[in-house]
Structure 1
């Protein structure tokens, strides 16, 4: 069955700064910051949360349905999705907006500075969650603010289980708005930085959130793995060591694809998180969010070698 991925489709312009940001930013001058970073490496990639999650989910053998709004400059990306055989039924082109664009600079410590032009993404609320499609699971990932609010409500009304993944869109929402979207969802997925921000905005701790979710809370910790919080308590999921560390862009989306794949199939949630760790490790070894290749067979072998248990069926 299909997984509806509400989120962005964007062009990612990824630049590598071969030094460390901290060596060029004066802490006592941040109120008047004026810094230029020379970036000899520039890569333009297909990205956006909906595209990245769909890319990984398709390679796993899932049935992703990305839902996003784009501009007339989307043709190259559309051909990319066609080559991957990813369904574009809910990719809507708006003639008077550009496709979203991200400008991401990464330093030697894998810190990132991102500028993002939303473009057509800001009109994503024009598409509602379809009720006439065989959708087994969904995700509300970073998108236009109104779209995230609307899609959260629509998933709940349609009775479609889903993950709420506020991501870099988290600062857009008030504490009350975040609470409502959490209560609508079955799962909440955040990274460690987003978790601290979410706690501050909502005033909710782990137990407050897990008591409101039928599934649970997943907090990714980068190289320290991830945490799965459910009504039964906390489970630590170890990180999978990558072949090399090249580019962290899109690692969170890769993890969420593995999580969605397992949850849609009714796996033990810890195994779904373990699969997310495997896919994240495969992604970070390659530059860009959609340039890593793998087969389901390769993933199953890696999963068993890392966790000493077979990949669930």
Structure 2
């Protein structure tokens, strides 16, 4: 399966706060909030949802096509992705704006405060994915991940108009999208990805029920943090997949991206939903155990051993055939 990943490209500026955000917030003073957190460190990493997912698919042996927008400072990042199997011919380079910046601080409870500067990402709306596909070939699936909202709408509409299967992943952009826009992004999707909170927000914003969403998408995939993953096919029984136990959680940034990459990689190699989600859960755990969204490495033998411990020998045997 040839997968195209449409999504943001950014530089991650990741910091850690040695305390709890919740202890610094005064409930009766929220309208006048003025806080400054002294962080312990600063790590600058390559990131962005599109970059993270494409990197992960490439690291698992795939050859994804990345579609997004970046600045002229993208050169080293492009080389990094190319070295990990990512086709970057779909990346538009802005002549006036820097690559987007993601600034995130994580406290001791893994709660996060984050800010995102779009920069060159705003030009992703200028990309015509069908013109990219004229050069690269038509993909079997297009993942429309968080990006410039207008770009997400345009990519989705082009997929529907040209009958190209697509997966909807509005996740991080749900906070700024209105209900009608969200409806348009998910209608006709083969897969709908959200986490548990985003799923509730999607229902609230659109006014849809879970049954109505099931009529619009083929499969809903909802990640629930430590409580695992729910897979709800519109024409089948729900599937629940627990997480792979974490040895040491270092940073939650990009964990969902890792899951999506592992899940789609598994499907592309013939795994059924449960097994694909188990592979996705393994990748998500590897990301959580790493301080960088793109610094993890999947050692097949070790990963399969952990999959066996989490899901049993049969699961490890099935996933071994494709890993």
**Superimposed CA distance per residue, residues 106-139 of structure 1 (whole angstroms, 9 cap, x where no aligned partner):** 0001011111000111110111223431412120
Select the residue among 147, 171, 174 that pairs with 1:170: 174
Aligned counterparts, 1:42-81, within 5 A: 42-81=42-81
Structure 2 match to 1:152 = 156
TM, length-normalised to structure 1: 0.95
**Superimposed CA distance per residue, residues 192-230 of structure 1 (whole angstroms, 9 cap, x where no aligned partner):** 11111101011222222122223x101111111111111
Structure 1 match to 2:308 = 304
> Higher mean Cα deviation, 30-39 or 157-166?
157-166
- Does the residue aligned with 1:218 lie in a helix, a strand or coil? strand
- Does the residue aligned with 1:135 lie in a helix, a strand or coil? coil
User: In 1, are the aligned partners of 2:62 and 2:85 still within 8 Å (CA)?
Assistant: no
> Higher mean Cα deviation, 5-14 or 235-244?
235-244
Select the residue among 259, 263, 274 that pairs with 1:259: 263
Give the 4+ runs in structure 1 shifted more than 3 A: 295-302
TM, length-normalised to structure 2: 0.92
**Superimposed CA distance per residue, residues 18-51 of structure 1 (whole angstroms, 9 cap, x where no aligned partner):** 1000111111111110000000211000000111
Q: 2:118 aligned with 1:121, yes or no? A: no
Q: Deviation at 1:185?
A: 1.1
Q: Deviation at 1:188?
A: 0.4
Gaps of 5+ in 2: none
Structure 2 match to 1:188 = 192
Distance in 1 separating the partners of 2:55 and 2:164: 22
Distance in 1 separating the partners of 2:272 and 2:100: 36
Distance in 2 separating the partners of 1:227 and 1:113: 26
Aligned counterparts, 1:220-235, within 5 A: 220-231=223-234, 232-235=236-239
- Does the residue aligned with 2:238 lie in a helix, a strand or coil? strand
Structure 2 match to 1:142 = 146
**Superimposed CA distance per residue, residues 149-170 of structure 1 (whole angstroms, 9 cap, x where no aligned partner):** 0111112223222210011111
Aligned counterparts, 1:8-47, within 5 A: 8-47=8-47
The Cα RMSD (Å) is 1.5
**In the comparison of the two structures, how many residue pairs are matched?**
312
Gaps of 5+ in 1: none
Structure 2 match to 1:90 = 90
User: In 2, are the aligned partners of 1:70 and 1:94 still within 8 Å (CA)?
Assistant: yes
Distance in 2 separating the partners of 1:34 and 1:152: 39
**Superimposed CA distance per residue, residues 222-254 of structure 1 (whole angstroms, 9 cap, x where no aligned partner):** 111111111323221101112211100000000
Q: Deviation at 1:184?
A: 3.0
Structure 1 match to 2:280 = 276
Distance in 1 separating the partners of 2:37 and 2:220: 37
Distance in 2 separating the partners of 1:41 and 1:24: 19
